[in-house]
Amino acid sequence: MLIHALLLALVANGTPVIASFLLKSLCAWSLDGGRKAWDGAPWLGRSKTFRGVFLSLLVTTVTAMLIDLPWVVGLQFAALAMVGDLLSSFCKRRLGMESSSKARGLDQVPESLLPLWASQTALGLEWQDVLLLVALFWVLELLLSQLLYRLHIRDRPY
Protein backbone atom coordinates (compact mmCIF):
# COMPACT_ATOMS: atom_id res chain seq x y z
CA MET A 1 0.00 0.00 0.00
CA LEU A 2 3.02 2.34 0.23
CA ILE A 3 3.01 2.91 -3.52
CA HIS A 4 -0.76 3.58 -3.49
CA ALA A 5 -0.36 6.15 -0.72
CA LEU A 6 2.50 7.87 -2.53
CA LEU A 7 0.50 7.89 -5.76
CA LEU A 8 -2.46 9.51 -4.01
CA ALA A 9 -0.18 12.19 -2.53
CA LEU A 10 1.35 12.96 -5.92
CA VAL A 11 -2.02 13.05 -7.68
CA ALA A 12 -3.76 15.15 -5.02
CA ASN A 13 -1.00 17.75 -4.97
CA GLY A 14 0.00 17.59 -8.63
CA THR A 15 -3.45 17.92 -10.16
CA PRO A 16 -3.78 21.67 -9.51
CA VAL A 17 -0.36 22.29 -11.08
CA ILE A 18 -1.21 20.31 -14.23
CA ALA A 19 -4.68 21.92 -14.38
CA SER A 20 -3.11 25.37 -14.22
CA PHE A 21 -0.84 24.52 -17.14
CA LEU A 22 -3.56 22.93 -19.28
CA LEU A 23 -6.44 25.28 -18.50
CA LYS A 24 -4.48 28.54 -18.03
CA SER A 25 -6.94 31.07 -16.56
CA LEU A 26 -10.11 29.10 -17.38
CA CYS A 27 -12.22 28.87 -14.20
CA ALA A 28 -9.20 29.90 -12.11
CA TRP A 29 -11.18 31.76 -9.46
CA SER A 30 -9.08 32.61 -6.45
CA LEU A 31 -10.24 31.04 -3.19
CA ASP A 32 -9.62 34.24 -1.26
CA GLY A 33 -11.16 36.44 -3.94
CA GLY A 34 -8.16 38.73 -3.76
CA ARG A 35 -9.12 39.82 -0.24
CA LYS A 36 -6.43 40.87 2.19
CA ALA A 37 -5.98 39.65 5.77
CA TRP A 38 -5.40 41.87 8.82
CA ASP A 39 -1.73 42.17 7.90
CA GLY A 40 -2.45 43.56 4.42
CA ALA A 41 -1.28 40.41 2.63
CA PRO A 42 -3.64 38.10 0.73
CA TRP A 43 -5.28 35.37 2.79
CA LEU A 44 -3.94 32.65 0.47
CA GLY A 45 -2.73 34.15 -2.81
CA ARG A 46 -3.75 34.08 -6.45
CA SER A 47 -2.51 30.54 -7.15
CA LYS A 48 -5.02 28.90 -4.77
CA THR A 49 -8.14 28.39 -6.85
CA PHE A 50 -11.52 26.70 -6.66
CA ARG A 51 -10.58 24.87 -9.84
CA GLY A 52 -7.43 23.40 -8.30
CA VAL A 53 -9.22 22.18 -5.18
CA PHE A 54 -12.19 20.78 -7.13
CA LEU A 55 -10.02 18.95 -9.66
CA SER A 56 -7.77 17.57 -6.92
CA LEU A 57 -10.84 16.16 -5.17
CA LEU A 58 -12.20 14.70 -8.40
CA VAL A 59 -9.00 13.25 -9.87
CA THR A 60 -7.75 11.80 -6.57
CA THR A 61 -11.12 10.18 -5.91
CA VAL A 62 -11.10 8.58 -9.38
CA THR A 63 -7.46 7.51 -8.90
CA ALA A 64 -8.36 5.79 -5.61
CA MET A 65 -11.10 3.83 -7.34
CA LEU A 66 -8.75 2.86 -10.19
CA ILE A 67 -6.30 1.35 -7.68
CA ASP A 68 -9.11 -0.52 -5.87
CA LEU A 69 -9.45 1.79 -2.91
CA PRO A 70 -12.82 3.12 -1.74
CA TRP A 71 -13.73 6.42 -3.38
CA VAL A 72 -14.11 8.02 0.04
CA VAL A 73 -10.42 7.34 0.78
CA GLY A 74 -9.44 9.30 -2.32
CA LEU A 75 -11.83 12.12 -1.49
CA GLN A 76 -10.60 12.37 2.11
CA PHE A 77 -7.00 12.18 0.99
CA ALA A 78 -7.40 15.01 -1.52
CA ALA A 79 -9.40 17.16 0.89
CA LEU A 80 -6.71 16.93 3.55
CA ALA A 81 -3.92 17.45 1.02
CA MET A 82 -5.67 20.65 -0.05
CA VAL A 83 -6.16 21.71 3.59
CA GLY A 84 -2.42 21.18 4.13
CA ASP A 85 -1.59 23.15 1.00
CA LEU A 86 -3.91 26.00 1.96
CA LEU A 87 -2.48 26.04 5.48
CA SER A 88 1.01 26.34 4.00
CA SER A 89 -0.09 29.21 1.77
CA PHE A 90 -1.76 30.97 4.68
CA CYS A 91 1.44 30.65 6.76
CA LYS A 92 3.64 31.83 3.89
CA ARG A 93 1.49 34.94 3.40
CA ARG A 94 1.75 35.71 7.12
CA LEU A 95 5.53 35.37 6.81
CA GLY A 96 5.48 37.93 4.00
CA MET A 97 6.26 35.42 1.26
CA GLU A 98 4.72 35.93 -2.18
CA SER A 99 2.27 33.55 -3.83
CA SER A 100 4.11 30.56 -5.36
CA SER A 101 7.30 31.37 -3.44
CA LYS A 102 9.47 28.51 -2.23
CA ALA A 103 9.51 27.38 1.41
CA ARG A 104 11.11 23.95 1.68
CA GLY A 105 9.33 21.75 4.17
CA LEU A 106 6.40 24.10 4.56
CA ASP A 107 5.52 23.41 0.91
CA GLN A 108 5.73 19.62 1.25
CA VAL A 109 5.04 18.44 4.79
CA PRO A 110 1.49 19.64 5.59
CA GLU A 111 0.10 18.62 2.19
CA SER A 112 1.48 15.10 2.57
CA LEU A 113 1.45 14.53 6.34
CA LEU A 114 -2.20 15.46 6.97
CA PRO A 115 -3.74 13.08 4.41
CA LEU A 116 -1.28 10.27 5.11
CA TRP A 117 -1.84 10.46 8.85
CA ALA A 118 -5.63 10.60 8.50
CA SER A 119 -5.69 7.76 5.93
CA GLN A 120 -3.24 5.60 7.84
CA THR A 121 -5.75 2.90 8.80
CA ALA A 122 -7.53 2.84 5.43
CA LEU A 123 -4.19 2.46 3.64
CA GLY A 124 -2.75 -0.04 6.13
CA LEU A 125 0.14 2.22 7.11
CA GLU A 126 2.19 2.27 10.29
CA TRP A 127 3.52 5.57 11.67
CA GLN A 128 6.97 4.72 10.27
CA ASP A 129 5.39 4.31 6.83
CA VAL A 130 3.80 7.74 7.13
CA LEU A 131 7.15 9.34 7.99
CA LEU A 132 8.87 7.50 5.14
CA LEU A 133 6.16 8.56 2.69
CA VAL A 134 6.36 12.21 3.77
CA ALA A 135 10.13 12.11 3.18
CA LEU A 136 9.68 10.41 -0.20
CA PHE A 137 7.00 12.89 -1.20
CA TRP A 138 9.27 15.78 -0.21
CA VAL A 139 12.12 14.51 -2.39
CA LEU A 140 9.88 13.52 -5.31
CA GLU A 141 8.04 16.84 -5.21
CA LEU A 142 11.31 18.74 -5.47
CA LEU A 143 12.54 16.53 -8.32
CA LEU A 144 9.23 16.63 -10.19
CA SER A 145 9.05 20.40 -9.81
CA GLN A 146 12.42 20.70 -11.54
CA LEU A 147 11.21 18.40 -14.34
CA LEU A 148 7.93 20.30 -14.75
CA TYR A 149 9.89 23.56 -14.92
CA ARG A 150 12.16 22.17 -17.66
CA LEU A 151 9.05 21.03 -19.55
CA HIS A 152 7.63 24.57 -19.18
CA ILE A 153 4.69 23.29 -17.13
CA ARG A 154 5.76 25.19 -14.00
CA ASP A 155 6.84 28.82 -13.94
CA ARG A 156 9.46 28.32 -11.24
CA PRO A 157 12.02 25.52 -10.72
CA TYR A 158 11.06 24.30 -7.26
Structure confidence at residue 1 (pLDDT): 85
Q: What is the widest separation between alpha-carbon atoms in the chain?
A: 46
Give the length of the chain. Answer: 158
Domain presence at residue 158: no
Structure confidence at residue 104 (pLDDT): 84
Structure confidence at residue 103 (pLDDT): 86
Range of the domain at 89: 2-28+47-150
Domain presence at residue 16: yes
Q: List per-block mean pLDDT (blocks of 10 residues) for the chain, which spans 158 residues.
A: 96 96 95 95 95 98 98 98 97 89 88 98 97 97 92 83
Domain presence at residue 155: no
Reported for 145-152, long-range contacts at CB under 8 A and 24+ positions apart, including other chains, are 148/17, 148/21
Total-model pTM: 0.94
Neighbouring residues of 117: CB distance < 8 A, sequence distance ≥ 6: 130
Domain presence at residue 52: yes
Number of domains present in the structure of the chain? 1
Structure confidence at residue 102 (pLDDT): 83
d(CA 103, CA 32): 20
Structure confidence at residue 14 (pLDDT): 96
Domain presence at residue 13: yes
